[in-house]
């Protein structure tokens, strides 16, 4: 399924391509790359110790982006709403940099990675301020409005909502996310019932948060890929132990990011 913006625009900016292992948004004009490395490329043994897993994951991200290990930043995600600002490059290679579920940076050539297996990976980008954000939003993150918090942090750093694009990468879809009543009650506007069973649309919750904060509909890009239904991606609900590696990076202006192993044909282009 081709990823697409939720609205139309006259000016193509972000090129979109899809491969079995990776969905990728690119803007040559802004040197932005945002994507997902799925299970087709990720053959890591997730029975290994945590630090060994993270090293192997960074190696995968390195091969896609060309970014050095110490500048590939991961979190120990805890299903909260803590968001850290990265104002300086890490001094050394770390398996994770903090117990948190979001990051924000204006540093070029710093690769932000969100690890998921059904939860919603959210990325934000201000094309004028060159500010990049990333968040991990499961049902707890949606309840805590981590997407809204991320956008508010960008506003506090000078971002104007009309300049911000938001990206929803592969995650569990509304037809697959069956929940118990206690979770469904938290999402009255995002829940539908099928034969009495509640299903929650986490992506809709993320979009509502973005729209409330002033993000324009045409600047919300949606991969439209369900991790449970599409076996090219890891899914916790399917019983997978692996993780989809969702990444975002602003390449330095002097560089042409050809290290990204993907295509961006004009026939698939769309954007704000």
DSSP track, 155-175:
HHTT--GGGEEEEE-SB--TT
Q: What is the pLDDT tens value at each position of the chain, 272 positions in all?
A: 344 444 443 333 344 445 544 667 777 666 899 999 999 889 999 999 999 999 999 999 999 889 999 999 999 999 999 999 999 999 999 999 999 999 999 999 999 999 999 999 999 999 999 999 999 999 999 999 999 999 999 999 999 999 999 999 999 999 999 999 999 999 999 999 999 999 999 999 999 999 999 999 999 999 999 999 999 999 999 999 999 999 999 988 654 444 443 333 222 323 32
Q: Which residue has the tokens 């330095």?
A: 252
271 assigned to some structural domain: no
Q: What is the pLDDT of residue 136?
A: 98
Q: Do residues 240 and 170 lie in contact, with contact meaning Cβ atoms separated by under 8 Å?
A: no
28 assigned to some structural domain: yes
How far apart (Å, rounded) are the C-alpha atoms in residues 17 and 9? Answer: 18
Q: Do residues 58 and 102 lie in contact, with contact meaning Cβ atoms separated by under 8 Å?
A: no
95 assigned to some structural domain: yes
Q: What is the pLDDT of residue 2?
A: 41
Q: What is the pLDDT of residue 23?
A: 63
Q: Do residues 135 and 171 lie in contact, with contact meaning Cβ atoms separated by under 8 Å?
A: no
Q: Where are the beta strands (DSSP E) in the chain?
A: 4-5, 15-19, 22-27, 32-37, 72-73, 83-86, 102-105, 111-116, 120-126, 131-137, 164-168, 191-194, 197-200, 220-222, 244-250
Total residue length of the chain:
272
43, with CB counted inside 10 A (0-12, 13-18, 19+), is exposed
How far apart (Å, rounded) are the C-alpha atoms in residues 190 and 185? Answer: 10
Q: Do residues 38 and 171 lie in contact, with contact meaning Cβ atoms separated by under 8 Å?
A: no
**How far apart are the two ends of the chain, measured CA to CA in Å?**
20
10 assigned to some structural domain: no
Q: How many domains does the chain have?
A: 1
194 assigned to some structural domain: yes
Give the CATH number of the domain where residue 247 resides. 3.60.140.10
Domain hosting residue 71, numbered range: 19-255
11 assigned to some structural domain: no
270 assigned to some structural domain: no
How far apart (Å, rounded) are the C-alpha atoms in residues 271 and 26? Answer: 10
Give Cα separations from 44 to 1, 32, 69, 210, 241 (angstroms).
26, 27, 17, 34, 10
Q: What's the sign of the alpha-carbon dihedral 22, 25, 28, 33?
A: negative
129, with CB counted inside 10 A (0-12, 13-18, 19+), is middle
183 assigned to some structural domain: yes
- Please provide residue 76's backbone torsions phi and psi, each rounded to the nearest 5 degrees: -90, 95
Q: What is the pLDDT of residue 156?
A: 98
């Amino acid at each position: 399924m081709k990823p697409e913006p939720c609205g139309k625009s006259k000016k193509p900016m972000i090129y979109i391509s899809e491969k079995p292992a990776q969905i990728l948004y690119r803007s040559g004009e802004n040197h932005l790359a945002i994507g997902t490395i799925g299970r087709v490329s990720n053959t890591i043994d997730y029975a290994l110790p945590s630090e060994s897993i993270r090293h192997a994951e960074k190696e995968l991200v390195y091969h896609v982006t060309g970014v050095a290990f110490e500048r590939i930043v991961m979190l120990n995600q805890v299903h909260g709403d803590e968001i850290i600002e990265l104002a300086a490059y890490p001094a050394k290679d770390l398996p994770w940099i903090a117990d948190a579920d979001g990051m924000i940076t204006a540093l070029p050539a710093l690769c932000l990675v969100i690890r998921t297996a059904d939860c919603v990976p959210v990325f934000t980008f201000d094309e004028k301020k060159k500010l990049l954000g990333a968040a991990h939003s499961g049902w707890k993150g949606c309840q805590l409005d981590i997407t809204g918090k991320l956008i508010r942090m960008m506003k506090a750093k000078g971002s104007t909502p009309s300049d911000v694009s938001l990206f929803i990468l592969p995650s569990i879809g509304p037809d697959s996310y069956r929940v118990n009543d206690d979770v469904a009650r938290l999402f009255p506007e995002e829940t539908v019932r099928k034969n009495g069973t509640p299903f929650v649309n986490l992506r809709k919750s993320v979009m509502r948060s973005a729209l409330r904060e002033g993000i324009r509909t045409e600047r919300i890009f949606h991969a439209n890929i369900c991790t449970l239904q599409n076996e090219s991606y890891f899914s916790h609900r399917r019983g997978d132990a692996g993780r989809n590696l969702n990444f975002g990076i602003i390449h330095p202006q002097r560089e042409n990011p050809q290290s990204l192993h993907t295509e961006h044909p004009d026939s698939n282009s769309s954007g704000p």
